[in-house]
C-alpha cells in the first residue's frame, strides 16, 4: 500500500515540493503557524473599534464606582486583607485592566467553540492539520494581548492619574507582572477550554458555562480581593485556579512576592496551567474519538 | 492508472437512541452507509449524488478522516484517513458549500496567510498558486475585504481558493454552487474544469444541482439509503433509470391520438401531440412510421431531463 502512496507523491510534482519542506522546517513552521493564528486572534478584535472604545469607557466608569466603594470599606476596615488603602485602589484598577485580558467573566472563544461544536462547524477544525487546543490557545493569547493593550492600559492610566495607587517604580516588577498575567491568561484559557469541550457531550454548554462564569467572578477576586476572604473560604479560594487570574498578578505588581515567593507564585500558576491543559488534552482526545467513531 | 480514492465494502452504522416512552429509550442502529465500494483514479471528476440523508455527507466525512468506517476498507492517496488524519490533510482539499474555512472577521488574505503556514507551503509555490487562484476566481479586489462582508458567491470562490493553495491531490466539494447566481456558478464550474485539466486534481463533487454534474462530470455515482444505486457514465443513467425521450409532432390538423408501436401519447394540444418512447430505443423507425401514416408538418425530439431520471430512480423499489 505504501509503495502506491509513494508513486503518487513522485508523479505529482506540485505536491512533492510542499511535502518535502515539512520535514525540513518542522519547528519553525510550527511557531509560524500558531504565530499566524495568534496574530489573527489579535487582529480580529482590532476591527471592532467602537466596541473597544465603549468597553474602555465602561471599565473606567466601573473602576471609579468600585474605587469609591473600596475607599468607604477601607475607611471602616483599614488593612483589610493586608492591603492599605492605596494598595486596595491599585487592586481595583488592576482588576479593571485585567477583566477582559484574563476573561474573568468567561465566554469569549469558549462561546465560539461551543457554537462550532453545536452547529458541526467543528468538523472543519478537525480536518485541519493543526491541533485544536493549541489553535484556540494561540488565538486566545492574541486576543488577550489586544485586550491588555486596548482595554487594560487606559483604565489603569486613568486610575493612576486620578487616584493614589501603589504602582511599582522598577521595570523588573512590571516585567514580573506581565509574566504573571500571561500565566493567568493560560490558566483562564485552560479552564474555559475544558468547559467548552463539555458541549461535545451536553450539546448545549450554556448551563455549565454560566455556572463556571459565576464561580470565576467570585473566586477570581473580582468582587473583593481573595486576601480579604475570611478563614477556610479564603484558603480554599486562594488554592483554586481562579486565583491565578487576578490575585496573583495584582500581588506580583504590588511587590508582595519576592525571590522564592515569586517563583512559588509562578509555580502555582504553572501547576494549574499544566494540570488544566493536560485535562483539556485528555478531554479533547476523548471528544475527537467520540466524534470520529460515533459521528457526534 | 492509480486509484486515489478506494472504498471496499465501507459501512457506517450509527447508534441512535429514540424515546419510546416516558422514561424508556430504545437503541436503534441506523446504517447511514451500507456497503459502498468504488474507486476513483487520479484526475477523474466524479459526481456523487443522492437525496438528503442518502449518506453522501457521511461518505465525505469518512473520506476526510473525521469519521471512521464501522466496517470495510477505505484509502485516500494510499492513506487510512481517520488514522492518519493530519498527514492526509496535506493531500486533500475540502470545500463545504454551507460552511466556511475562512476567518470570518478578518480580510480574506489573512485566511490564505494561515493556509500558507498551516500546510507549510513553500513561499514560491504559495505565491504562484495564490496568484493563479486570484486571477481565475476574480479575487483581486476582495483580498482586503473582511470575509463577513463578502457575498455568498465571493465567499465560495474564496473558500475554493483556500482549499487549493497546498496543491491537494484530491478535492472534495460538497454543494459548491449552492445559493449561487448563474454567473457565479458558471465561474466556479469553469475554474474546476481548468483545475482538473491543468493539475489533474481528482475531484469528488456532491451536489443537488444536476447542471453541475452535466457540465463537469463524465462519471456519476448515485447513492440512496446508503447504497450505491448507479455508478457509471452520465449517459448510462437514462437506461438505468428507464427514462423516456419525447417526440413532439405537429400535424396538419387536430387528429385523434397517434398510434405507434413502442410509443404512447402523453399529451394532445390541438394539432400538436407528445409521444413518449424509451430513451434506449431509436427515434428513426417511430418517425418513419408517423411520417408514412399521418400528415406530418414538423417534429422535434426532446432528451429526458436528468433530474426526472434521478427522481424516478429514487422512487424505485426499495429494500427495507
Touching check for B123 and chain A: CB below 8 Å? no
- Nearest-Cα distance to chain B for A7, in Å, is 9
Judge whether A138 lies within some domain.
no
Quick check: B94 and A127 CB within 8 A? yes
Nearest by CB to B67, from A7, A12, A295: name it.
A295
pLDDT at B184: 84
Answer whether residue A252 is part of any domain: yes
- Nearest-CA distance from A281 to chain B in Å? 17
Q: What percent of chain A has pLDDT over 90?
A: 64
Measured between CA atoms, the residue of chain B closest to residue A135 is: B118
| Average pLDDT in chain B | 88
Interface test with B, best of A123, A131, A142, A289 (most B CBs within 10 A): A123
Lowest-confidence segment of A34-48, A138-152, B127-141, B173-187 by average pLDDT: B173-187
CA distance A243 to A222: 10
User: What backbone torsions phi and psi does residue B48 show, to the nearest 5 degrees?
Assistant: -125, 105
Number of domains in chain A: 1
Q: Closest residue of B to A14, CA-based?
A: B167
The pLDDT value given to residue A10: 29
Instruction: Name the region of A46 (left: φ>0; alpha: ψ -120 to 50; beta: rest).
Output: alpha
Residues of chain B with pLDDT under 70: 1, 19, 241, 305-307, 316-320
* pLDDT value for A26: 67
Asked whether the beta carbons of B229 and B242 are under 8 A apart, the reply is no
Q: In which band, very low, low, confident or very high, does the pLDDT at A296 lie, cut at 50, 70 and 90? A: very low
Domain of residue A263: give its range.
Answer: 57-132+151-290
Is the pLDDT assigned to residue A2 strictly greater than 70?
A: no
* Chain B: closest CA distance from residue A139 (Å): 12
Facing B117 at nearest CB: one of A6, A32, A127? A32
Q: Distance between CA atoms of A7 and B170, rounded to whole angstroms?
A: 15
Residue B1: its pLDDT value, please?
Answer: 57
Q: Scan for cell 501547576, then name that residue.
A: A271
What would the pLDDT profile of A188-225 be if each residue is shown by its tens digit? 999 999 999 988 888 666 788 888 888 888 999 998 99
Q: How many CB atoms lie within 10 A of CB A100?
A: 24
What is the tens place of the pLDDT at every residue in A268-291?
Answer: 999 999 999 999 999 999 988 887
pLDDT class of A60 with cuts at 50, 70, 90? very high
Q: Give domain status of residue A165, yes or no.
A: yes
Alpha-carbon distance of B229 to B211, in angstroms, equals 20
Work out the minimum CA distance from B71 to partner chain A, whole angstroms. Answer: 11
Distance from the A267 Cα atom to the nearest Cα atom in chain B, whole angstroms? 33
Asked if the structure places residue A20 within a domain, the reply is: no
Note whether residue A256 is domain-resident. yes
More confident residue, A26 or A256: A256
Domain annotation covers residue A12:
no
Q: Which residue of A has its CA nearest to B126?
A: A18
Tell me the residues of chain B between 28 and 87 that have a Cβ less than 8 Å away from chain A. 32, 42, 58, 61, 64-68, 75, 77-79, 82, 85-87
Nearest to A44 among B99, B105, B125 (CB): B105
CB distance A29–B169 less than 8 Å? no
ipTM: 0.79
- Interface contact B114-A124, CB threshold 8 A: no
In a domain, A123, yes or no: yes
pLDDT(A82) > 50: yes
**A41 occurs within a structural domain:** no
Let me know: does A139 contact A192? Beta carbons within 8 Å.
Answer: no
Amino acid at each position: 500500500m505504501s509503495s502506491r502512496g509513494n508513486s503518487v507523491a513522485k508523479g505529482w510534482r506540485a505536491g512533492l515540493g510542499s511535502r518535502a519542506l515539512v520535514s525540513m522546517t518542522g519547528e519553525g513552521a510550527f511557531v509560524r503557524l500558531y504565530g499566524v493564528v495568534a496574530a489573527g486572534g489579535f487582529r480580529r478584535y482590532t476591527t471592532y473599534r467602537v466596541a473597544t472604545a465603549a468597553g474602555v469607557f465602561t471599565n473606567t466608569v466601573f473602576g471609579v464606582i468600585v474605587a469609591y466603594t473600596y475607599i468607604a470599606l477601607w475607611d471602616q476596615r483599614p488593612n483589610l486583607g493586608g492591603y492599605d488603602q492605596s494598595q486596595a485602589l491599585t487592586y481595583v484598577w488592576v482588576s479593571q485592566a485585567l477583566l477582559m485580558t484574563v476573561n474573568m467573566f468567561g465566554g469569549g472563544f469558549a462561546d465560539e467553540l461551543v457554537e462550532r461544536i453545536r452547529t458541526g462547524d467543528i468538523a472543519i477544525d478537525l480536518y485541519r492539520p493543526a491541533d485544536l487546543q493549541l489553535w484556540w490557545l494561540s488565538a486566545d493569547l492574541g486576543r488577550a494581548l489586544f485586550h491588555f493593550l486596548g482595554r487594560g492600559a487606559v483604565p489603569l492610566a486613568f486610575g493612576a492619574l486620578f487616584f493614589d495607587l501603589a504602582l511599582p517604580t522598577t521595570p523588573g516588577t512590571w516585567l514580573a507582572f506581565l509574566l504573571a498575567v500571561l500565566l493567568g491568561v493560560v490558566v483562564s484559557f485552560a479552564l474555559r477550554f475544558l468547559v467548552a469541550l463539555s458541549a461535545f457531550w451536553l450539546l448545549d454548554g450554556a448551563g455549565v458555562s454560566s455556572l463556571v462564569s459565576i464561580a470565576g467572578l467570585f473566586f477570581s477576586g473580582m468582587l473583593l480581593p481573595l486576601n480579604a476572604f475570611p478563614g477556610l473560604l479564603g484558603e480554599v479560594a486562594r488554592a483554586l485556579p481562579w486565583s491565578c487570574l487576578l490575585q496573583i498578578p495584582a500581588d506580583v505588581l504590588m511587590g508582595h512576592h519576592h525571590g522564592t515567593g515569586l517563583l512559588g507564585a509562578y509555580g502555582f500558576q504553572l501547576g494549574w496551567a499544566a494540570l488544566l491543559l493536560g485535562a483539556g488534552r485528555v478531554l479533547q482526545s476523548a471528544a475527537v474519538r467520540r466524534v470520529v467513531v460515533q459521528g457526534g | 492508472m492509480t486509484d486515489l480514492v478506494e472504498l471496499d465494502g465501507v459501512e457506517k452504522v450509527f447508534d441512535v437512541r429514540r424515546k419510546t416512552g416516558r422514561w424508556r429509550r430504545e437503541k436503534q442502529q441506523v446504517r447511514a452507509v451500507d456497503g459502498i465500494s468504488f474507486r476513483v483514479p487520479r484526475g477523474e471528476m466524479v459526481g456523487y449524488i443522492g437525496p438528503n440523508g442518502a449518506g453522501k455527507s457521511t461518505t465525505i466525512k469518512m473520506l476526510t478522516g473525521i469519521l471512521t468506517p464501522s466496517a470495510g476498507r477505505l484509502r485516500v492517496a494510499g492513506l487510512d484517513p481517520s488514522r492518519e488524519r493530519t498527514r492526509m490533510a496535506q493531500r486533500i482539499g475540502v470545500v463545504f458549500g454551507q460552511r466556511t474555512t475562512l476567518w470570518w472577521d478578518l480580510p480574506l488574505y489573512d485566511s490564505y496567510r494561515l493556509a500558507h503556514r498551516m500546510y507549510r507551503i513553500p513561499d514560491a509555490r504559495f505565491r504562484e498558486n495564490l496568484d493563479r487562484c486570484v486571477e481565475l476566481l476574480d479575487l483581486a479586489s476582495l483580498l482586503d475585504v473582511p470575509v463577513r462582508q463578502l457575498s455568498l458567491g465571493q465567499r465560495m470562490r474564496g473558500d475554493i481558493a483556500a482549499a487549493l493553495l497546498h496543491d491537494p491531490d484530491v478535492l472534495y466539494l460538497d454543494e459548491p454552487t449552492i445559493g449561487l447566481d448563474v454567473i457565479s456558478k458558471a465561474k466556479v464550474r469553469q475554474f474546476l474544469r481548468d483545475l482538473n485539466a491543468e493539475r489533474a486534481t481528482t475531484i469528488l463533487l456532491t451536489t443537488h444541482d444536476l447542471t453541475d454534474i452535466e457540465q463537469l462530470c463524465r462519471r456519476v455515482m448515485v447513492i440512496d439509503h446508503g447504497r450505491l444505486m448507479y455508478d457509471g457514465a452520465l449517459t448510462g443513467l437514462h437506461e438505468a433509470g428507464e427514462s423516456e425521450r419525447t417526440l413532439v409532432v405537429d400535424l396538419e390538423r387536430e387528429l385523434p391520438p397517434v398510434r405507434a408501436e413502442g410509443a404512447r401519447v402523453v399529451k394532445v394540444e390541438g394539432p400538436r401531440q407528445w409521444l413518449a418512447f424509451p430513451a434506449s430505443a431509436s427515434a428513426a423507425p417511430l418517425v418513419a412510421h408517423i411520417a408514412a401514416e399521418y400528415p406530418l408538418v414538423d417534429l422535434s425530439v426532446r432528451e429526458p431531463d436528468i433530474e426526472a431520471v434521478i427522481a424516478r430512480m429514487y422512487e424505485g423499489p426499495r429494500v427495507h
